[in-house]
A and B are shown apart, each in its own frame.
Chain A
């Protein structure tokens, strides 16, 4: 079955450590996205990528980094520079970045930093 796989489901880290969240898709989608979700908030865009080897900052990119070396993969690194990293992170993909292309989401990763 085609879909988006995020791993792990739960992740715990100590403050000051970098951590990488995995996102893999087998939908053959060109575009991939990372969103952050906090309680009482909607989803906020961290980074997006329209094609391999290209990515752009979203609304809240500070303290995060990404790579897009393969079409299927779009890992997100939460660096020690991110001031409030504890959150629920959702990866998504779409066939293309056009406005008529809906996003498909993974199951998310809950990151807790103490």
Chain B
């Protein structure tokens, strides 16, 4: 079974600085998607960024980018120029291409605090 591990329960960053959130996963599949979701205090889950395993180029969405290392099964999220509105719980998630392609498997989350 696929597992997703976020080793940092909490992180903090100063406003305008850069922070990197870590995520590792375990899978035997060769093709899959990886996602980062943000859950602010409102508790709605918001898709931040996604990466297909077959694409070598790291995904970027404005101030958010990923460092995808397929061999190491690592998928970190970098937030540049951090803003107060970035404060949230961040979840890394995996979706495989095999028999469990319906299922999004989540890590336990990293709580990000942004200090003014």
Contact = CB atoms under 8 A, between A and B. Distances in A.
Interface string B29-65: 0011101010000111111001010000000000000
B108 to A, nearest CB: 5
B68 interface: no
A48 interface: yes
24 contacts: A33-B104, A41-B108, A42-B4, A42-B91, A43-B104, A43-B106, A44-B106, A45-B103, A45-B104, A48-B102, A92-B104, A97-B101, A98-B101, A99-B32, A99-B33, A99-B96, A99-B101, A100-B52, A102-B33, A103-B47, A103-B104, A107-B42, A107-B44, A108-B43
Q: Top 9 closest A-B pairs, CB basis? A: A42-B106, A105-B45, A97-B102, A99-B101, A99-B97, A43-B106, A99-B95, A42-B108, A107-B44
